Amino acid sequence: SFNKCSSFLIDEWQVANLLGDSTWRCTSDSYLSNNGVVINGFTPGIGGRDNNDWLISPSLDLSLYTNPSISFAIKCRFKGMPLKMYIAVNQASRPEPGSNNWKELEVIYPTLRDENWRQIASLDITKYKSANTYIAFQYLSNIEKGASQLFLDEVKINNLMSPAKPIGVLHSLNL
């Protein structure tokens, strides 16, 4: 979760703006906690703008987990491109956004754009266990595909006793 979120700091997460003037920021519109994060690439009267923004976790030591899984809450308003999720393992430092160190994970979300929070739970990341693992979320928008307003909260790593059936589906791309 993003409980220590402030206008300048999103806990220990790195905000990286590669394109456009939108960026991840704190919001009081959250799932369960006091704060979440939000991004919106839409401008009234203009429409969707070109944006490429990353939200990158601090280093996570997944080697201590038996069956690590990730869960998070998401809410989406308006038409736009789906949130992308990435993972990087065995990194001495936080990888640069968009670098070849990232492996894209395809998350198949339940129906979004209904302005309700959805919990994505028990996405198995066991094969990515390392002492230095990073998780990233990438927001994209443009005039052709639109710009959703996307909220994210309660990003957590869980240690399951055995792999669970996920709510939402996680697939690896190009591994």
Residue 53 · residue 23 · CB < 8 Å = yes
Give me 141's structure tokens.
Answer: 């928008």
What average pLDDT score do residues 88-95 get? Answer: 91
Residue 13 has pLDDT above 70, yes or no: yes
Long-range pairs, 90-97, Cβ under 8 A, ≥24: 90/130, 90/131, 90/132, 90/133, 91/59, 91/130, 91/132, 91/133, 91/134, 92/132, 94/14, 94/56, 94/58, 94/59, 94/134, 95/56, 95/134, 97/16, 97/18, 97/54, 97/56, 97/136, 97/138
Q: What is the pLDDT of residue 29?
A: 83
What is the rounded average pLDDT for all residues in the chain? 84
- Quick: pLDDT tens for 96-150: 999 999 999 878 766 556 678 888 888 889 989 999 999 999 999 998 998 989 9
Distances in Å between the Cα of 120 and the Cα atoms of 70, 106, 124 are: 8, 13, 11
Q: What is the pLDDT of residue 43?
A: 83
Residue 9 has pLDDT above 70, yes or no: no
Q: What is the pLDDT of residue 171?
A: 43
- Quick: pLDDT tens for 18-29: 999 999 988 888
pTM greater than 0.85 = yes
**Phi, psi for residue 46 in degrees, rounded to 5:** -115, -45
Q: What is the pLDDT of residue 55?
A: 95
Which 8-state DSSP code applies to residue 64? Answer: G
Q: What is the pLDDT of residue 57?
A: 93
Measure the CA–CA gap between 125 and 133, rounded to whole angstroms. 10
Measure the CA–CA gap between 62 and 65, rounded to whole angstroms. 5
Residue 164 has pLDDT above 80, yes or no: no
What average pLDDT score do residues 38-54 get? Answer: 89
What average pLDDT score do residues 51-71 get? Answer: 93
